Structure 1
Amino acid sequence: MRVSILDQVPLTEHAPTRAAALSSGLSLAQQADELGYHRIWYAEHHHSRSFASPAPEMMTALALERTQRIRIGTGAILLPYYSAQKVLEVMGLLAMVHPDRVDTGLGRASLNDPDYATKVASLVQELGTVHEASANEPAGRVWVLGAGGSSAPLPGTLGAGYVHGHFLRPSGGEAATAAYREAATRSGHTPHTVLAVRFVTAPTEEHAQALAQALLLWRVRKDFGDDGPVPSVTTAANYRWSPQEIARAQERSRALIVGTPSQVHAQLVTLAEAHGADELMLNTLVSNPEDRLEAYQLLAERFIA
């Protein structure tokens, strides 16, 4: 099974400035390239105190110049903000400089755009003239990201790939990915299904659980209006949780795979099989960049021969 990385370029207690977070994100691309990951994508967030990159196409360009083999792309460009022509020109230019290494991931989050489907169709068609056809990648190297399920059939009808955000909504994904594959098959296209999963792992279960508590503290704070950097293990260990925060953390933990590398590997394989996924796109949010790199190293040892 192919494994890839989704990097949200997090601000953390260990990397509290945007410059530090961006540097860490670009270093991760180089390390992922060396470890053998199939692709790394960068997310788009605006006005965030948790994430440092509002321009995934710029992160893609910078990472491409620092790597040799790995596919790099956007996860995702929030298409309602942009014209299809602008996205085509930017991503097409990158593809011409770095042939067959550039992915265009598209999403809409909760933004309303009545032209969304038309824009996606246009990009699949136009980027299809930039990239040669490949049995291993979708048409135009275009992917549509979704979590609720309503977006799933669209890429299937167009020959694009579909990425389901399990870490955003851990239930209902099996139906969404099945709807995508059905639409692709009915339209005569080969489906390309990726499952995006958030995980935490470390050499010991104790350390993995401590890292997970810090991640959940960040997520719960964000849910209650305190958008900020991912806290350290020490901060989480000394934090006094309210009953409401404990309840929310338990709910949020459903979208998080935690354990030793062997435990996480087994759970990820099970999830991928249940969703009919060809590929896993992995995301972890921890404060210390060394812990983050170690997590990806440990899973690379189990997934990548």
Structure 2
Amino acid sequence: MAPSAPRLSVLDQSPVGTGFSAADALHASVDLAQAAEEWGHVRYWTAEHHGSPGFAGSAPEILASVLLARTGRMRVGTGGVLLPLYPPAKVAEVFGVLASLFPGRVDLGLGRAGGPAHDYPQRVRAVRRLMDLDGDGPPAGAGVNPVATVRPRMWLLGGGVGSAFMAGELGTDYAFAHFLVPGPARAALTSYRSAYTEHTGRPAPGGVLAVRVVTAASEERAEALAQSVLLWRSRKDLGEDLPLPTPAEALRHEWTALEAERAEVRRGSLVWGTPEQVRERLTELAARHGVSELMVNTLTCDPADRLDSHRLLAEAFAARPRPAAAGR
């Protein structure tokens, strides 16, 4: 029996391509979020990056607030706020405001990148206390206002076992960054589920897998788009942080030995092909990792190609039965 197709969500890094501006990328994020809601996606997350010519999303909570106002049903949040950069009280207040304005639709995704992370677990626990996510009431004298009546849903994001175990221990949701480091995914998700059940006494939600995907109507076009991503990623790995190259640039590029080596390493974290090919691969990937939801991350030079990639994928998945939407 073929596995059920997973539900789809979007992880948006607001990519900037050659010939496009950061403003173009941010406007494209708004367009994609509105389309994703029409396609029935579960959630839409905005990422945080600083000082990178290839990404425009430096203030995910600001972009998330715009997307919440421009959509009406889909959950919207951050994937994620880089908690080492901010006081926990500030994060609690920002998301208290968002959740008060958009009750039942806000996801607070937290990541440990961005600065010294030795006190990251303490910072996560502080945000939980300040937002009263455990239902015990915020600490006396904390001065955090507002504490939303309908709390945001907290997610920990990671690419290893440590953050997965902490998410389970705290009873939060968890998303694994397969697009960064595919290898530890199964071990991390297993650790999360075991820790969650052990510390809460409840079955674990299962977790979400964030996967980098690009699709197009033809194999040839999908290959060209994939080569653009691999060239960009290879350059970035070697210290050359640039906007996404055009597919034409990638196809005529003379790869150095080091670039080719990095591209080979990164191939395992990118899924590409026609919509039918990608649907099959993603369905198998979700089944192998025991998740019923995938967060799709797509990078293209031209925002129109990214919108088309997500649209084609949504159409391909709409033709397959999906699991029930419990636990949204």
Conserved 8 A contact 2:213-2:296: yes
Alignment match of 2:195 (pick from 165, 183, 190): 183
Conserved 8 A contact 1:157-1:189: no
The one-letter code matched in structure 1 to 2:251 is A
Q: Which residue in the other structure is 1:66 paired with?
A: 70
> SS at 1:150's partner residue?
helix
Structure 2 CA distance, aligned partners of 1:60 and 1:242?
A: 39
In the superposition, relative to structure 1, how do residues 190 and 85 fare at CA in structure 2: closer, same or farther (>3 Å)? farther
Which structure has the greater CA radius of gyration?
2
Q: Which residue in the other structure is 1:90 paired with?
A: 94
Conserved 8 A contact 1:123-1:142: no
Alignment match of 1:108 (pick from 97, 112, 116): 112
The one-letter code matched in structure 2 to 1:92 is G
Deviates more, 1:268-277 or 1:159-168: 268-277
Structure 2 CA distance, aligned partners of 1:27 and 1:78?
A: 25
Conserved 8 A contact 2:61-2:77: yes
Alignment match of 1:145 (pick from 151, 157, 164): 157
Alignment match of 2:299 (pick from 279, 285, 288): 285
Q: Which residue in the other structure is 1:237 paired with?
A: 251
Alignment match of 2:17 (pick from 6, 12, 23): 12
Give the deviation of 1:232 after TM superposition. Answer: 0.7
How many matched pairs? 298
> SS at 1:54's partner residue?
coil
Give the deviation of 1:282 after TM superposition. Answer: 0.3
Conserved 8 A contact 1:106-1:145: yes
Q: Which residue in the other structure is 2:81 paired with?
A: 77
The one-letter code matched in structure 2 to 1:102 is V
> SS at 2:9's partner residue?
strand
Conserved 8 A contact 1:144-1:162: yes
Please list the CA deviations of residues 229-287 of structure 1 after superposition, one character each: whole Å capped at 9, or x if unmatched.
10111111221111221121111111111111111111111111222213100001111
The one-letter code matched in structure 2 to 1:197 is V
Q: Which residue in the other structure is 1:196 paired with?
A: 210
Give the deviation of 1:71 after TM superposition. Answer: 0.9
Conserved 8 A contact 1:156-1:189: no
Conserved 8 A contact 1:123-1:140: no
The one-letter code matched in structure 2 to 1:268 is L
The one-letter code matched in structure 1 to 2:198 is R
Give the deviation of 1:11 after TM superposition. Answer: 0.8
How high is the sequence identity, in percent, across the aligned residues?
47
In the superposition, relative to structure 1, how do residues 105 and 111 fare at CA in structure 2: closer, same or farther (>3 Å)? same
Structure 1 CA distance, aligned partners of 2:293 and 2:309?
A: 18
Please list the CA deviations of residues 128-162 of structure 1 after superposition, one character each: whole Å capped at 9, or x if unmatched.
35365xxxxxx840000000221101111111100
In the superposition, relative to structure 1, how do residues 211 and 46 fare at CA in structure 2: closer, same or farther (>3 Å)? same
Give the deviation of 1:115 after TM superposition. Answer: 2.6
Does 2:311 match 1:297? yes
Does 2:228 match 1:223? no
CA RMSD of aligned residues (A): 1.6
Give the deviation of 1:181 after TM superposition. Answer: 0.2
Q: Which residue in the other structure is 1:135 paired with?
A: none
Q: Which residue in the other structure is 2:323 paired with?
A: none
Structure 1 CA distance, aligned partners of 2:103 and 2:312?
A: 30
Conserved 8 A contact 2:25-2:303: no
In the superposition, relative to structure 1, how do residues 113 and 245 fare at CA in structure 2: closer, same or farther (>3 Å)? closer
The one-letter code matched in structure 1 to 2:235 is R
The one-letter code matched in structure 2 to 1:183 is A
Mark the runs of 5 or more structure 1 residues left unpaired by the alignment: 133-138
Q: Which residue in the other structure is 1:252 paired with?
A: 266
TM-score relative to the length of structure 1: 0.93
Structure 2 CA distance, aligned partners of 1:164 and 1:127?
A: 25
Q: Which residue in the other structure is 1:39 paired with?
A: 43
Q: Which residue in the other structure is 2:33 paired with?
A: 29
Deviates more, 1:91-100 or 1:18-27: 18-27
Conserved 8 A contact 1:217-1:231: yes
Structure 2 CA distance, aligned partners of 1:256 and 1:99?
A: 35
The one-letter code matched in structure 2 to 1:159 is G
Q: Which residue in the other structure is 1:53 paired with?
A: 57
Q: Which residue in the other structure is 1:164 paired with?
A: 176
Conserved 8 A contact 1:46-1:54: yes
Mark the runs of 5 or more structure 2 residues left unpaired by the alignment: 1-5, 136-147, 320-328
Deviates more, 1:144-153 or 1:116-125: 116-125
